[in-house]
Every structure is written in C-alpha cells, then in structure tokens.
A = this chain, B = another copy of it.
Amino acid sequence: MTNPRACIIIIGNEILSGRTQDKNIQYLAIELNNIGIKLEEVRVIPDIEQTIIDTVNELRVKYDYVFTTGGIGPTHDDITSESMAKAFGVNIVCNPEALKILEDHYGAENVSDTRKKMAFVPEGAKLILNPASKAPGFIMGNVYVMAGVPYIMQAMFAGLKGELKGGKPTQTKSIVVMVGESFIAKGFEDIQKQYPEVEMGSYPFIKENKWGTTLVLRSTDEELLASAYQNLKEFLHSQNIETEEE
C-alpha cells in the first residue's frame, strides 16, 4: 500500500513580498513524513479570494490531504474562511462551539463583532482546536485550515495529527563526503539503479572553502534502505572516499 499524498497551500502576501521567512513548510514536511503521509507539493498564493477558491478546488481532488496555513484571523485581509466556504459551495456560519471557546477565553462581553468573525466557518466544518491562542481552525472534507503564525499552526497540528491516517513513516539515512558531487555521481547513480524504490538525492555544500556532498537515502522500507546504505558506503570506501554520518 502506498502512503497517502498531501499538499500544503501557504496563503500569504507576506511570504510573496519577502517580508516573512516561511517556517511552516519545513515543519509540516517533517511532521507529515514522520506519520507516513507523503508531501508532494507546496503552493504559496496571495490573499485573493478567487485564487484561494481555484487552488483549493484543484488540489483537494488531486491529493488525499490538503493543509492550508494563513488568513483566519479577525482583520479584513483574513479571507480564508470565506473563500473556503465558497470553494465548497456552502454558507459561512457562526459555529456555536467556536463562539463558546472565544467567549470562555475573552469573556462574553468582550467578544466584539471583530472577534466574533473568528467563530465563522463554512457550514458543516469540524473545528481544529487552538491551544495556543484559542481561535480555532477547521476541517472541510480533506482540507485542513490552520493559522499562519508558526507557533499557533504547530499547536493546532499537534492536536490534529492523531486523527490523520498515514502509512509507513519514511526513514532517512545520510552520508557526508568531503568531495564534490562529480566524484561520486557515477557510482551513486549505479546504486540508485540497483535500488529504484529508494529515493536518492545528492546535495552539495561548501565548508571551510571545500566542497562536500551529502548523500541522502529515503524509503519506507527499512531493510531495503539499510541494504542500499551499506552498498553506498562500500562503494565510497572502495574509492578511498572518507565518509561520515550526518
């Protein structure tokens, strides 16, 4: 059985303007891979209603899971919930459970219309609880709508991930060699051909003015991975290339 496939949609002008360094992609990538869900695509899109609608509707039929971050706060540029309702062709409604969470947190008399906006979700949505700052995210079908602020998104995802149905976690083994890629390219390719089901990548870097390369092997099959790794190490040593584990 192959692992379920996922994509992430980062909704945020602040990423496209360069104002903010994204931190959500890497966090979710690691978390999803750890629970056996294969992250296959990421899109970063602007806070434009039609773009959000089109992107969600394209990707929710293509992937088993769609995770979105950003745009669920109380200000006018937070249009994700409204756009999501339109993508699913339902009304946006005040969710009583979400309203109660806000009232318990702020005090009922302090839930202004502005704050109340954060209790509005598409009709039929299930809430994603937010232990960090209360205002919840939500689930519609296979789309998981979360906050954009990294520590809030992470708090939401932590509570959520037990419900996701993953497959086998992907295991990784890495070897670092202090030679450039071209010295290992041929032998590395031969080993890739021997193990087509192990994903093998080569990543060059510079350390103290010298080229090095990290060779990364990934698979959901632990035995196959160990065997490929052993073969790669033997090849490198046969070439008198020193190796260190990452």
Contact = CB atoms under 8 A, between A and B. Distances in A.
A75 B202 contact: yes
Nearest to A118: B182
A172 to B, nearest CB: 7
Dominant SS at the A interface? mixed
A194 B73 CA distance: 21
Interface string A180-217: 01101110110010000001111111100000000010
A41 B40 contact: no
A201 B77 contact: yes
A90 interface: no
Copies in the complex: 2
Contacts of A46: 40-41
A168 to B, nearest CB: 15
A77 B42 contact: no
Nearest to A186: B114
B39 A16 contact: yes
A26 interface: yes
Interface of A: 10, 13-23, 25-31, 33, 39-47, 73-78, 112-115, 117, 149, 151, 170, 172, 181-182, 184-186, 188-189, 192, 199-206, 216, 218
